[in-house]
Every structure is written in C-alpha cells, then in structure tokens.
C-alpha cells in the first residue's frame, strides 16, 4: 500500500521560511517522479515544483522560482520543499504527489497516481 505523508506546514509571517517533508512508503522512490502542488480556498490545485528520478531534473512554477527549492533523500524515501521569502499568496494546502517516470507531465495533476493528505501553509502579512 502506497502512502505519502506530508509534514512541516504551519503559520509563518511574510518573508519567513518553512520546509515541507513528504515521507513515502510502499513506493520505490527511483521509479517515480515527485511533485508538490497546492490548493488555495476556492481555487484549483496548481503545480508548484517537481523533481525527476533521472538526473535530478527539476521544474518550478514561475510564481515560486528563486524562492522554493525541491529536493529528495533517496535513502529516506523523502521529498522536501524548502520555501523561503514566503508571501501571503503562498497560503494554501500543499500536497506531495508521485507519478510514473515513464509517462505524463510534471505539470498536470492527472499524471500523478499517488497523493498525500496535504499540509496547511498559512502566510500572514
């Protein structure tokens, strides 16, 4: 049984930092690309960042480039999202997800077969 469990969310002031983690079980890390998505109230779930299992290639949404960094620890089967210079518009529930490395798109939610339960990030102004 595949499980993705996020942690690290919370309340932070604008300009602050948070580090999200996503621990995976039942899923061999190297066969799946991983991504972070977020969903604000009343909005659709949107892509934030993704990392490939081959060559550590990454993709970021324009809105987070230069502020967020996605990384992974294969030994721990854990995905991370370091979020710096946070803005109130970053407030959302953040989800980690996994998709087959052989098909689909980093940016499309439909490409991802497995999802975590989400962790709330709230940035106050």
The pLDDT value recorded for residue 94 is 98
Hey, what are 70's tokens? 């996605």
Question: Where do we find the tokens 């979020």?
Answer: 83
Q: Are strands 92-100 and 114-115 parallel, antiparallel or unpaired?
A: antiparallel
Question: Where do we find the tokens 């499309």?
Answer: 108
Hey, what are 63's tokens? 């809105």
Q: What is the pLDDT along the chain (125 residues), one digit of tens a residue?
A: 889 999 999 999 999 999 999 999 887 766 789 999 999 999 999 999 999 876 779 999 999 999 999 999 888 889 999 999 999 999 999 999 999 888 889 999 999 999 999 999 999 99
CA distance linking residue 39 with residue 46, whole number of Å: 6
CA distance linking residue 28 with residue 46, whole number of Å: 25
């Amino acid at each position: 049984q595949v499980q993705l469990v996020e942690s690290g969310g919370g309340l932070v002031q604008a300009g602050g930092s948070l580090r999200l983690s996503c621990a995976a079980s039942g899923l061999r890390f190297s066969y799946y690309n991983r991504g972070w998505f977020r969903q604000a109230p009343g909005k659709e779930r949107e892509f934030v960042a993704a990392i490939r299992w081959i060559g550590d290639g990454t993709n970021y949404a324009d809105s987070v480039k230069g502020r967020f960094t996605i990384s992974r620890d294969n030994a721990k089967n854990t995905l991370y999202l370091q979020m710096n210079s946070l803005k109130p518009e970053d407030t959302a529930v953040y989800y980690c997800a996994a998709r087959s490395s052989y098909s689909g798109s980093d940016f499309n939610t439909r490409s991802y077969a497995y999802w975590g339960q989400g962790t709330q990030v709230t940035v106050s102004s």
